[in-house]
Amino acid sequence: MLRFALSRLVQGLIAALVIVSAVFFLARLNGDPATLLAPPDAGPEEIEALRAELGFDRPVLAQYLAFLGDLARGDLGTSTSYHVPVSELVVPAMGQTAQLALVAFILALVTGVLLGALAGSRADTRTDTSVRLLAVVGQSVPSFWLGMLLILLFAVNLNWLPAFGADGPSSLILPAVALAALPTAAIARLTRSTVIEVHHKDFTLYERAKGVSPHVLFGHVMRNASLPVVTLAGLQLGAMFSQTIVVENLFAWPGVGRLAIGAIGSKDFALVQGVVVINTLLFIALLFVVDLLYGVLDPRVRDQRTTVGA
C-alpha cells in the first residue's frame, strides 16, 4: 500500500507541476501583464515602473523559476487591488468555499447513492422510472436558474431562509441545494447502472440462490458497486470548487468564486493566478485521495497499478 501511495503521489506532483506551469505561461499569452494592470491613462514611464515593481521586466524563464520558488514557500504574490499577500485573501475565502462545497457534496453523495441504489434494486419499476426522471431533470437544470427559483420560493415568498450572505447554518441551505443538484443526479444515475450490473454478476446470482438474506446481499452489491461511484464522487467534489463561482455570486457567498470574479474585474493578475493555482492543487489532491480509496476498497486495483507502475 505504501508503494502504491508513493507512486500516485509522484504522479500527482508531476501533474501539478505541468498544470501550474501551464497556468503561468497561459496567463502571459494575453499580452503584457503590466499594460493590463496599469490604469487606462497611464503613460509609458508609469507602465515601465509597474513592470519593474511586479518583476515583469525580467526574462520569462527567470520569472518562471521565481514563481516556482515562491510557490514552494507558499508565496502566491501580492494582490494589486487589496495590497496584501494573495494567501491572506485566498485562504479565508477557500475556507468558505470548502464549507459550501463539502455540505453540498455530502448532500449529493448521500442522496445520489440512496436514490441510485433504490432505483437499481427495483429496475424497470415506477420507482426506477421516477428516479431516472429526477436525475435527468437534475442534470438539465442550470445551477443559477435553480438558485433563483430557490430564492424566489424559500426566501421571497415563504421567507423561511436567507437569500444572501453567510450569517449562519441557515445561509448554507439554499446555495448547497443549488450546487448539489447536478452531482446528485450524476451519482444517482451511475449508482443505478452499477447496482443493476452487479445484480447480474455470477456471485450475486449464486448468493441469491443460496438464500443469503437481502440485507447481506445488498451490502455485498453496494461494496462491489462502490468503485466507479467513488471515482465519480471524487471528480464531482473537485468540480464543485469551480462550480461554486456561479452559486457564490448568486447567493453573495464570500468564497473563492466571488473573490475570483472581483479579481478579474479589477485586473488583479496575482490574485487570479493564485486562485487558479490553489484550485488546481486542490483538485489534484482530491484525485490522489480517490486513488487511495480505490486501493483500500479493492486490493486488486492496488496490486495491478503497483505492478504497472513498477
Query: What is the spatial distance between Cα 292 and Cα 47, in angstroms, rounded to a whole number?
Result: 49
Query: What does the pLDDT look like over 236-287, one tens digit per residue?
Result: 887 787 778 888 888 888 888 888 888 877 777 788 888 888 888 887 887 7
Q: What is the residue type of 218?
A: F
**DSSP one-letter string for 220-262:** HHHHHTHHHHHHHHHHHHHHHHHHHHHHHHHHT--SHHHHHHH
Name all contacts of 258-267 with Cβ < 8 Å and 24+ positions apart: 258/93, 259/89, 259/90, 259/93, 262/81, 263/79, 263/81, 266/80, 266/81, 267/36, 267/37, 267/80, 267/81
Q: Which residues of the chain have pLDDT under 70?
A: 1-2, 4, 30-34, 36-40, 203, 205-208, 210, 212-221, 294-310
**299 CB neighbour count, 10 Å cutoff:** 12
Alpha-carbon distance of 38 to 52, in angstroms, equals 12
Residues 163/237/277/47 CA torsion (nearest 10 deg): -30
DSSP 8-state secondary structure symbol assigned to residue 274: H
The pLDDT tens digits of the residues spanning 148-175 come to 999 999 988 888 888 887 777 888 889 9
Longest dimension (CA), the chain: 85
Tell me where in the chain the CATH 1.10.3720.10 domain(s) lie. Answer: 91-266
The pLDDT, as a whole number, for residue 217 is: 66
Q: What is the pTM of this model?
A: 0.75
Classify residue 150 as exposed, middle or buried by CB count within 10 Å of its CB (0-12, 13-18, 19+): buried
C-alpha cell of residue 270: 496575482
Contacts of 310 (CB under 8 A, 6+ apart): none
64 close to 21: Cβ distance less than 8 angstroms: yes
User: What topology is assigned to 91-266 in CATH?
Assistant: MetI-like fold (1.10.3720)
